[in-house]
Every structure is written in C-alpha cells, then in structure tokens.
Amino acid sequence: MTGNPQQSLEVCPPLPLVTRGGFFMRVHGVLTAALLLMGLASAQTQATPATLTVITHDSFDVDKKLVASFETANNARVRFVKGGDAGELLNRLVLTRRAPLADVVYGLDNSLLSRARQFDLLQAYRSPELAKVPAAYHLDDAGLLNTVDYGYVALNYDRAYFQKVGLSLPRSLDDLKSPQYAKLTVVASPATSSPGLAFLLATVNHYGEAGAWQWWRDARLNGLKVTRGWSDAYNKEFTRNGGRYPIVLSYASSPAAEVFYADSYDAKKLPAQSPTANLFLPGSTWLQLEGVGILKGAKQPALARKFVDFMLGGSVQADIPTRMWIYPAVGGTPLDPVFKFATLPELSAVKPSLTANPQRLVDAWVTQVLRAR
C-alpha cells in the first residue's frame, strides 16, 4: 500500500471487523513508530550542543570544572584557541577579521582597545555583571570590552641573585639603562606583548617620546634583552627559571605566584618573604585592564553574551587570582592570603592621550629603537 494510510482507509471497501481492526492496529503502529522516531530525532537535535569558540592569550587559565558547568547550563561546548601573547592575539584578529577565528575574545587590554576599535573587530555588549566592577576599571562605555581583571605591569627582581653578588638595586630608570643594570634586565617587546607595550607607554609617560626613544636605545646598547613575549622573558630568560637575567618585566603579583607554586607552600604558614620582589622604579609601572568581548561575525552571539557574563560571575572572578595572577575586576572578590606578597605601587593617573593611538608609538619604537644604528 502506498500513499497516506488515512487516505487508503477512506477508499477501501468495508472490511470484516477483525480484518479492519488488524489493519487499523498496523496503521496505528506505523504512525506511532513514525511519531516516536520524529520525537527522538527532535530530542537528538535539541541535545546537540552548540560550539562556542573563545580565543585568548597564552596565559589564560580558568578551572575546567567551571567551564564544564557553563557548558552543562547552556547545552554548549566551549573550544579555546590560544592566540599567543596579547599583542600577537590582536594581530591575528586583525588579519582574520573577514573570517573571524572565534566568537569571543579574552585578553585584549586598555593599551590594545583603540586598535581593536580602529579595525572594527568587536560588537558591543555591556554585561549586566559590569555593574559590580568599579567605574574606574571600565574599559569603555559601549561594552566592546567588559573588564574581567586588572594588574600592574612592573619590574621584578631575583632576591637571591642580588644577595649573592652583593649588588645594590637600581633606583631609577636612568640607573636601569646603564651598563651595570641593562645587561641584567629582560623585557618583552612592545610590538608583540601587552606587558611590553605597557612598559613602553610607561617610559613615554615618564620621559616623553624623544626621551623614551633615547632611553631604549641606550638600554639596548648596554645589554637590555628584548624577547617576543612575557613567557619567553619570565619562563626562559629570568634567573629564577634558569636564565641569565635577574631583572624581568612581569607583574606586581608575580612574587605572590612564586610563593604559591613553591613545593613548601602552606597558606597557614607563609614565608617571611617571597623569592622575588617588585622593583617600582618611578615611571616603570603601568595599570593594565583586561577584558572579554564578542567578535563581529560571531556565529554564536547569544551564547557569546552568556560567556561574557560567565567571566564576570563570582565563581570565575574568585578563580582568577591564583590562576592568572591578576586582580579580579568585581569588587569584594576574596583573595588568597598569598597576595600579601603582591605589593601595590603608588600610581599617578595614566594620561589618556597615551592610549589613544598606541600603535603609532609601537611603530615609532620600531623605527627609532629597533632599526636605529
């Protein structure tokens, strides 16, 4: 029999009751099975998780259990893509803006936001969770980037090295560029690293542009090491990790991380001091605000908005400090006791003009410093 079963019933001559009843049962069975299959297919379609792609800088780290809870709550799968240091991450986003690599980006900061605006990389979404972040830490009014955390880019030094050689610490950036100290110092490149760019902005803020270029030229001539990114500087070149340089550009919270990752760490029995310490030379420190945003062309915009909210939620904010060693943006978030070693600098207000077009300063640095003879 072909065609619709109900139509077939209407055109067939009357059948004996038993035969007709058997036929009805067969038809009913076929319809029931079809409906069950349709329902099963619908359930399977509903159960298929949507994939949200999040691109981050290489230092991103959030508890996998928290990510799993987000996935369960939103019937989603989160795929993370590491994009290099923050400067490299931004460059990748610029180059791929016609075909975005992800739905969400985490790790762009106040020194990189203007370039993200220039290339129209982000779509505005102002998370309701942003109300819990102090206004002073908001990255922009439109919500292109929602502030997740903040930190202080600062010079660190290896206590044991300076104690061993009996050398006093530099007291100024002028000291740091001298042959005595420049050859002991490693920093990340402003062209590919957000901490490197922050340090460049700090030197321009301190010396003015002409003075900053001269400082960089002198420091490099006297042995300053410049690496591609923070990881190379801290994890490879710093004396604490087997390198040759006892002064490194990092974060003011890095000394706390050194204590936390020590084999003998006990939150109830903290050591008297950390193995590294901050070197807050005047003009060397910079406040960095990191955010999360939705890329233009995102394939999962609704899910992306939920992920932005997730990053500003209490569980993630509490998880951030001892994973990425920066401060959570949401006020009142508790900190591990080890943060007593994360001493804070005294910072004057950052000049807004310096972050208006940082790429111009990077281009000038390449010309005036890297290519200078």
Among 14-18, 261-265, 298-302, name the one with the lowest average pLDDT.
14-18
pLDDT at residue 17 greater than cutoff 90 = no
Stretch 256-278: mean pLDDT: 94
pLDDT of residue 158: 98
Residue range 300-313, pLDDT digits in tens: 999 999 999 999 99
Residue range 217-263, pLDDT digits in tens: 999 999 999 999 999 999 999 999 999 999 999 999 999 999 999 98
Per-residue pLDDT band for 46 (boundaries 50, 70, 90) equals: low
Top CATH class of 50-150+288-341 equals: alpha beta
pLDDT of residue 22: 47
pLDDT of residue 129: 97
Same fold, 50-150+288-341 and 153-283+348-370: yes
Mean pLDDT of the chain: 88
Residue range 343-361, pLDDT digits in tens: 988 755 444 445 668 889 9
pLDDT at residue 3 greater than cutoff 60 = no
Stretch 124-134: mean pLDDT: 97
Q: Which residues, including other chains, have CB under 8 Å from residue 278's CB and lie 6 or more apart?
A: 154, 155, 156, 252, 255, 343, 345
Give dist(CA 357, CA 243) in Å, integer.
34
pLDDT at residue 191 greater than cutoff 60 = yes
* Residues 305 and 294 sit within 8 Å (Cβ to Cβ): yes
pLDDT of residue 203: 95
The domains of the chain are located at: 9-44, 50-150+288-341, 153-283+348-370
Per-residue pLDDT band for 38 (boundaries 50, 70, 90) equals: low
pLDDT above 90 as % of the chain: 78
Fold of 153-283+348-370: D-Maltodextrin-Binding Protein; domain 2 (3.40.190)
Stretch 18-29: mean pLDDT: 44
Stretch 104-116: mean pLDDT: 94
pLDDT of residue 368: 95
pLDDT at residue 104 greater than cutoff 90 = yes
Is the whole-model pTM more than 0.85? no
pLDDT of residue 24: 40
pLDDT of residue 373: 63
